């Protein structure tokens, strides 16, 4: 991995996002009592520089949950463009934490925005299922764009598994795996088949994290 | 840089063949009228891959182009030709 730029600790541009995080964190901590579960010592190491967080998508509030996974870093979320046109759109725009994409016609501009954000040393979170899963709790098939994003930005992928509380008295469980260097998985310039293979491997890894959440 | 449509097409074929060794035979015979999705069976990620590789090979940028903006190989060739001129 190339040495990544360090994200700035404070900047005026990040102020709205930081204020929202500060205001939302205490009630969230009290209500959800998130339990962070690391799969290994390497997973427990703090993420430095750019990283692509991938997670299962169980509901609208998942971005809040993933914030607890890497609570010490600002996160930027890849989201559908339509979300920005909802009532919450102005708040999301103000927070500046969203990278909207057109899922029906993914553009090179969006791709560049995501990779540039990672190259700047920031943490980007995306839900590779592409949408909230069907409610059965079963993960949908991952889309393989994340592998290309990781390769192009030369940033590792950090798999995260979310197990939201079923009842108000349950705790939120967040499983964090160690970073995966995608370029090592394919060894140089990948072929189409390798990209699909990497995606499968990441999905299997993500599925394994569920066992940690149940422990 | 002046590159003919044929040269662009050949380079595109090289990119596609190097990315999909299994489809070498099919991809080598590609013409400009071939549909990227139905004839070549490319998905949006394959398209993204092709565009990234094309950018590197030709030294151009696909400015805010959507994956669905291209339907045929000819569309991609025309875009590259336009950017190079």
Written in H, E and C, the secondary structure of A103-121 is CCCCEHHHHHHHHHHHHCC
Question: pLDDT band at A5, cuts 50/70/90?
Answer: low
Spans of all domains in chain B: 5-84
Residue A64 resides in a domain: yes
What is the reported pLDDT for B29?
Answer: 84
In eight-state DSSP terms, residue A7 is P
Q: Is domain B5-84 annotated with CATH 1.10.1200.10?
A: yes
Model confidence, pTM = 0.88
Residues spanned by the domain of A124: 12-40+48-214
Contact A195 B49 (CB under 8 A): yes
Residue A2 resides in a domain: no
Cβ-nearest to A108 among B22, B45, B62:
B62
Output the six-digit token pair for B4.
Answer: 């003919």
What is the reported pLDDT for B76?
Answer: 95
Q: What is the pLDDT of residues A159-213, one digit of tens each?
A: 999 999 989 899 999 999 999 998 887 766 778 888 989 999 999 999 999 889 8
User: Domain with A64 in it: what CATH number?
Assistant: 3.40.1130.10
Residue A5 resides in a domain: no
Q: What is the pLDDT of residues B61-74, one digit of tens each?
A: 987 788 888 999 99
Q: How many domains does chain A have?
A: 1
Q: What is the dihedral of CA A59, B44, A77, A179, to 10 degrees?
A: 100
Contact A191 B20 (CB under 8 A): yes
Q: What is the pLDDT of residues A68-81, one digit of tens each?
A: 999 999 999 999 99
Contacts of B66 in chain A (CB under 8 A): 102, 105-107
Residue A6 resides in a domain: no
Taking residues B17-46, what's their average pLDDT?
86
ipTM rounded to 2 decimals: 0.87
Tell me which residue of A125, A124, A131, A128 sits closest to A58, measured CA to CA.
A131
Residue of chain A whose Cα is closest to the Cα of B68:
A105
């Amino acid at each position: 991995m190339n040495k990544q730029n360090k994200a700035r600790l404070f900047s005026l541009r990040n102020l709205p996002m930081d204020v929202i995080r500060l205001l939302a964190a205490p009630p969230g901590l009290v209500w959800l009592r998130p339990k962070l579960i690391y799969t290994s010592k390497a997973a427990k190491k703090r993420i430095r520089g750019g990283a692509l967080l991938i997670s299962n998508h169980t509901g609208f509030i998942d971005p809040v949950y993933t914030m607890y996974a890497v609570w010490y870093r600002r996160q930027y979320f890849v989201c559908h463009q339509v979300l920005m046109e909802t009532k919450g759109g102005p708040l999301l725009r103000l927070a500046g934490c969203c990278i909207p994409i057109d899922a029906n016609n993914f553009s090179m501009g969006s791709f560049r925005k995501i990779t540039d954000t990672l190259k700047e040393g920031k943490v980007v979170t995306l839900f590779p299922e592409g949408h909230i899963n069907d409610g059965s709790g079963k993960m949908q098939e991952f889309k393989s764009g994340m592998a290309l994003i990781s390769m192009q930005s030369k940033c590792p992928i950090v798999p995260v598994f979310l197990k939201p509380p079923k009842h108000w008295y349950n705790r939120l469980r967040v499983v964090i795996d160690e970073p995966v260097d995608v370029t090592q998985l394919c060894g140089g310039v990948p072929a189409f088949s390798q990209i699909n293979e990497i995606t499968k491997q990441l999905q299997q890894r993500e599925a394994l994290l569920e066992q940690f959440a149940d422990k | 840089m002046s590159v003919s449509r044929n040269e662009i097409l050949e380079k595109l074929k090289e990119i596609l063949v190097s990315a999909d060794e299994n489809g070498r035979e099919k991809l080598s015979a590609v013409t400009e009228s071939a549909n990227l999705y139905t004839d070549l069976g490319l998905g949006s990620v394959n398209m993204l891959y092709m565009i990234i590789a094309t950018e590197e090979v030709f030294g151009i940028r696909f400015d805010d182009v959507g994956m669905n903006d291209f339907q045929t190989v000819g569309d991609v060739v025309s875009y590259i030709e336009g950017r190079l001129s």
